[in-house]
Each structure stands twice: as structure tokens, then as C-alpha cells.
Amino acid sequence: MATESMGSNGLIDVKAAGAVLGLSPDMVYRLARRGDLTPRYPRGKGLNVPVHFHPEEVSALVAERERDDFDVKKLSSRVAQTNALGRSLERRVELLEKMLNRRAWPLPTDEESVIALYARAQDEQEKPAKRVSDIIEWARILVAMGEEYLDLTEAFTGDTECWKAFSHLVDIMLIEAPIERLNFDRELEGAYGYLDVGRRNLRAAAFFFIRNRYGSHVANQQLDAEECHAEILTIASADW
């Protein structure tokens, strides 16, 4: 990729992106409209403002083309499927909440609260919660967490992988679940089942958080998309 095609902000324009992809500028614009490339506006979005792209995202798209015999319709179909599965997950979470007679509440979004929750997730990895009330609390937090909350967390903490703090915590909590008690303690079993729903919602939020910055290909590399949208209602009869 020619150095002169890159701006001082590290982005490349439509012509340079087309040269890398072997496509016309019109086709590059089409990829952006379909969500296969993320348009950037270094000078502010508005009329007649030139669109730019991350060179890493463009290069990753070239690799996708070489690896999978790429065509525009194929990649566009993947993006559409991801969005559809995300909406499906939201509906299933709502249904599960009704089954458990619990509702997610909006998370506070002021800087102090966001930083405090991020720090709490890191601290509790050393001693993860095991009481039903604490497990349910974390489950409700994770169910309420969307990509916009991760945007805030990144902005306030500077951690571009801020979702990992929450992901690592919930993984530890599930790994350390007292398996021997779940067969006869239905309340505890339900709490861990709800926590697993929160984990899946977090992974879905992290998927879109990453995709909006680097594209679907990078998000798929960091998160297993199938795991991100796996069936969640089976926890009602989970076989621990």
C-alpha cells in the first residue's frame, strides 16, 4: 500500500482502497453501504466530505477474498445474518426475562459509575461471586450491557478491549460454579443459567463493538460468532 495514499491519521481514501481491493470507487462505496467496510470521516461527517477507511480493514477484506473465494454478495449476506441473529438474541433475552420474572435495568452511564463497574469486574476475578443474589446481579448487569455501554467504557478507561474484563469475570464465575449443588438447588441453578444468558449477551455486544471498529472479519477472529448467538432458552433444562 503506497505511503502517499495514507493521510496523517493513518486512513486511506476511496481511490486507494479500491486499488488495494482491485475494485472501482463505486464498488468500494457499495461495500461501505452494505456494511462490509466501515466509512470514516476524519474531518467530520457532512455533504461532500471525503470518505476514508482503515487500511487494516481493507487488507483484511483482501485476505477474506483470497481465502474464501470472496464475492460482494457472499460477505454482505454474512453481515445481514449477523444483524438478524443479534436481533433474535434480543428477543430471546426478553422472553427469558419474562420466564424468570426479572427485568434488566439501564446501567448508569456517568463516568464515575462506568469506571467503577469496570474496576469491580477486574477486582472480582480474584474472588468471584457465588451467592445467588450476587450472581443474579451480575447476570442483570450483563444482560443490560450493549455495545454503546462498551463504547463508553472504552472512552472513560482507554481500554480498547474493555469487554474482556467482564468476559473473564463471567467465565471464571461459570467455571467455579458448584456443580454438586446445582442438581438440587433450583434457585442457584436458575441464577447460573441467567448468568450464562448475560455472558452470551456480552459476547454479542462485544462482537458488534469490535465489528464497528475493524469490520466483521476481525470480530469473527476475536469472537466465535456461532457461540455469540447460540441457543439460550435451553438453560431451563440445562444439564450441568
Q: In terms of domains, do 10 and 90 share one? A: no
> What is the C-alpha to C-alpha distance for residues 195 and 174, in angstroms, rounded to an integer?
8
pLDDT for 67 = 62
Contact 45, 59 (CB under 8 A): no
Domain membership flag for residue 209? yes
Q: In terms of domains, do 30 and 96 share one? A: no
Residue 34 sits in a domain of what CATH number? 1.10.1660.10
Domain membership flag for residue 53? yes
Distance set, CA 66 to CA 60, 62, 70, 81 (Å): 10, 6, 7, 21
Domain membership flag for residue 175? yes
pLDDT in tens, 204-233: 889 888 888 777 777 777 775 435 333 333
Contact 14, 29 (CB under 8 A): yes
Rounded to two decimals, the pTM is: 0.55
In the numeric block, the cell 433475552 is attached to: 93
Domains identified in the chain, total number = 2
Q: In terms of domains, do 9 and 89 share one? A: no
Nearest to residue 11, comparing CAs of 1, 24, 25?
1
pLDDT in tens, the chain (240 residues): 443 355 556 788 889 988 888 888 888 888 887 778 888 877 665 556 678 888 888 888 877 766 655 455 555 555 555 555 555 555 555 555 554 555 556 889 999 999 999 999 999 999 998 888 899 899 989 988 988 899 999 999 999 899 999 999 998 998 888 887 877 888 888 888 888 888 988 988 898 888 887 777 777 777 754 353 333 333 333 433
Which domain covers residue 30, as residue numbers? 3-70
CA angle at residue 235 from 193 to 114, to 5 degrees? Answer: 35
CA 114 to chain CA mean position, Å: 17
Domain membership flag for residue 186? yes
In 10 A of CB 41, how many CB atoms?
12
Q: In terms of domains, do 28 and 137 share one? A: no
Q: In terms of domains, do 53 and 92 share one? A: no
Domain membership flag for residue 76? no
pLDDT in tens, 1-39: 443 355 556 788 889 988 888 888 888 888 887 778 888
Q: In terms of domains, do 50 and 85 share one? A: no
